[in-house]
């Protein structure tokens, strides 16, 4: 069976979404996912992603761990954190849409709200936001207005749409880069990354 066709979308995630599920529709193991993604990313027609630094990878993995904690706490599997240039975690948050009965309580929005109340303007303006899944348009707005200059995410929003599948959950398929491009100064966006771990935290959740 031929691998999925690699496209030239700006996020680099649409071409990978089909690889996250096996023939039976179930998520395949992280090792297999990583192997397929590597094949797709090196396809001659597709763009390549800049590899994560060890610090970025560690912090993004921590955001995915927060997503698992969110799921364990009865919420949707999303987590986010803000780190300083040196890699110090300044603030972190989980999704709380279920436990607080507020559909706007996405992990990134919770994080930005908490960070704005507890951190300095300089800490916000020099930090990097790491999130387990690409932020939606609502969360992008909050990130932009807080002046956080950089976002690193694991799972892409179009990949999430594949995982959600036929469930009743709403997915706004608007790439974060497109949202941030409408503002100035620009927000640097890096992702998708760590697809295997990013997808695994969603396994069997949306069914």
Tell me, what's the pLDDT at 167?
57
Q: For residue range 126-141, what is the model confidence (pLDDT) as tens digits?
A: 999 999 999 999 999 9
Tell me, what's the pLDDT at 205?
87
Q: How much is the mean pLDDT over the chain? A: 80
More confident residue, 13 or 161: 161
Q: Is the bond preceding 187 in cis, omega lying within 30 degrees of 0? A: no
> Catalytic positions, please?
108
Tell me, what's the pLDDT at 134?
95
- Work out the average pLDDT over 5-10: 33
- CA-wise closest residue to 57 among 152, 155, 196: 152
Which of 5-14, 167-176, 184-193 is least confident?
5-14
- Written as one string, the DSSP assignment of the chain is -PPPPP---SSS-HHHHGGGB-TTSSBPPHHHHHHHHHHHHT-TTS--PPPPPHHHHHHHHHHHHHHHHHHHTTS-S-EEEEE-TT--EEEEEE--TTTTT-TT--HHHHHHHHHHHHS-HHHHHT-EEEEEE---HHHHHHHHHHT--EEEEEE-HHHHHHHHTTSS-------HHHHHTTSSS--EEE----HHHHHHTTTTT--
- Written as one string, the DSSP assignment of 101-117 is T-TT--HHHHHHHHHHH
Alpha-carbon torsion (122, 126, 129, 134), positive or negative: positive
Q: For residue range 68-116, what is the model confidence (pLDDT) as tens digits?
A: 999 999 999 999 999 999 999 999 999 999 999 999 999 999 999 999 9
Which of 1-5, 8-12, 158-162, 189-193 is least confident?
1-5
């Amino acid at each position: 069976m031929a691998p999925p066709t690699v496209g030239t979308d700006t996020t680099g995630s649409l071409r990978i979404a089909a690889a996250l599920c096996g023939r039976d529709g179930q998520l395949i193991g992280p090792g297999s996912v990583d192997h397929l993604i590597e094949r797709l990313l090196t396809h001659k027609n597709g763009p390549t992603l800049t590899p994560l630094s060890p610090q970025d990878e560690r912090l993004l993995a921590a955001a995915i761990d927060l997503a698992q904690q969110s799921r364990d706490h009865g919420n949707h599997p999303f987590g986010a954190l803000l780190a300083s240039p040196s890699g110090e975690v300044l603030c972190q948050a989980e999704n709380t849409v279920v436990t607080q009965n507020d559909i706007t309580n996405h992990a990134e929005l919770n994080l930005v709200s908490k960070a704005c109340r507890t951190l300095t303007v300089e800490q916000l303006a020099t930090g990097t936001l790491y999130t387990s899944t690409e932020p939606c348009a609502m969360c992008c707005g909050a990130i932009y207005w807080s002046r956080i200059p950089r976002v690193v995410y694991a799972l892409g929003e179009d990949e999430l749409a594949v995982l959600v599948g036929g469930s009743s959950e709403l997915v706004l398929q608007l790439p974060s880069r497109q949202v941030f491009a409408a503002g100035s100064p620009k927000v640097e966006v890096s992702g998708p990354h760590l697809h295997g771990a990013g997808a695994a935290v969603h396994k069997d959740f949306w069914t």
